[in-house]
Copies of this chain bind each other. A is one copy, B any other.
Amino acid sequence: MDELELIEEIRRRFGTEASDRIKKGIGDDAAVLLPSRGLLLLTTDIMVENLHFDLSFMSPRDIGFKLVARNVSDIFAMAGEPEFMLLDLCLPQQLLLSHQKRTVHEFVEALFDGIEEGLKRYSVILIGGDLSTSPGKIYLSATLTGSSERPVFRSGARPGDLIYVTGTLGDSSCGLEILKRTITSRGGEVTVVKDTEIPSEIKKPLLKKALSPEPEPVHKKINKINAMIDISDGLAIDLWRLCRESAVGAVIYQDKIPISKEVREASRLLGLDPLSFALSGGEDYELLFTTENRVKEEGITEIGFIKEGDNLSIIDGSGIERPLKPEGYIHRWGQK
Contacts of A24 in B (CB 8 A): 151, 153
Q: Hey, what's the 0/1 contact readout for A24-38 against B, CB within 8 Å counting as 1? A: 100111111111100
Cα–Cα distance between A184 and B232 once the two chains are bound (Å): 42
A321 contacts partner chain B, Cβ-Cβ < 8 Å: no
Contacts of A256 in B (CB 8 A): none
Closest B residue to A42 using CB positions? B31
Closest B residue to A4 using CB positions? B330
- Additional A-B contact list (8), CB under 8 Å, known A44-B86, A135-B136: A3-B332, A29-B43, A30-B43, A31-B42, A49-B135, A133-B333, A134-B137, A139-B139
A279 contacts partner chain B, Cβ-Cβ < 8 Å: no
Identify which of B30, B51, B105 contacts A133 (C-beta below 8 A).
Answer: B51
Pair B28/A153 contact, Cβ less than 8 Å: yes
Contacts of A49 in B (CB 8 A): 135
Pair B93/A334 contact, Cβ less than 8 Å: yes
Q: Can you name 27 A-B pairs with beta carbons within 8 Å? A: A1-B333, A2-B331, A23-B151, A28-B78, A29-B74, A29-B228, A30-B80, A30-B144, A31-B41, A31-B42, A32-B151, A33-B41, A34-B39, A34-B40, A35-B39, A42-B86, A44-B86, A45-B130, A46-B131, A46-B132, A49-B135, A88-B141, A90-B139, A91-B333, A93-B334, A103-B334, A134-B139
